[in-house]
Structure 1
Amino acid sequence: MRRIAAPFACAPGLRLEAHERVSKLQVDGLNDRLNRLEILMERLERRLWLTVYGVVGAILGQAFQGLLNAVP
């Protein structure tokens, strides 16, 4: 009967595994930061559009008020 030996853990292999784990952690951290930035950009975009609509509403309100004052 033939016996299969356990895999041998050598220093270069362990170093490679450690590097892969560190790389994965770095990529996961970057993805997390990117997701947070995307959420912040969506919030900022929403605020920007609300500001634009508010300014347009104020201008239209003043124009409408001017028309009401001009017409008896």
Structure 2
Amino acid sequence: MRDGMPPPFDCAPGLRLAAHERLMQLQLEHLNRRLERIEQMMERLERRLWFAVYGVAAVVLGQTLRSLMLLQ
């Protein structure tokens, strides 16, 4: 004992607050992981979209060149 005082103890409201803070921290970490996964999926989707756009542009350009070659 310190100077005749009883040892400190955790009361129920303090434990409840600590548990709530820990739960909120876990939820925030989980949310951040989910957001990172969503961002990665969006980057992959964007990459695929650009490949599709470039593919269509290449086909149109190829057909245009082909039609020009046939006119000569």
TM-score where L is the length of structure 2 = 0.90
Matches within 5 A, 1:17-56: 17-56=18-57
Note the aligned Cα RMSD (angstroms). Answer: 1.5
Cα distance between partner residues in 2 of 1:7 and 1:42: 52
Higher RCO by CA contacts (8 Å cutoff, separation 6 or greater): 2
Q: Size of the alignment, in residue pairs? A: 70
Q: Deviations over 1:1-23 (max 9, x none)?
A: x8265432000000000000100
Q: Structure 1 segments of 4 or more deviating over 4 A?
A: none
Q: 1:16 matched to which residue of 2?
A: 17
Percentage identity across paired residues of the two chains: 56
Structure 2 residues without counterparts, runs of 5 or longer: none
Structure 1 residues without counterparts, runs of 5 or longer: none
TM-score where L is the length of structure 1 = 0.90
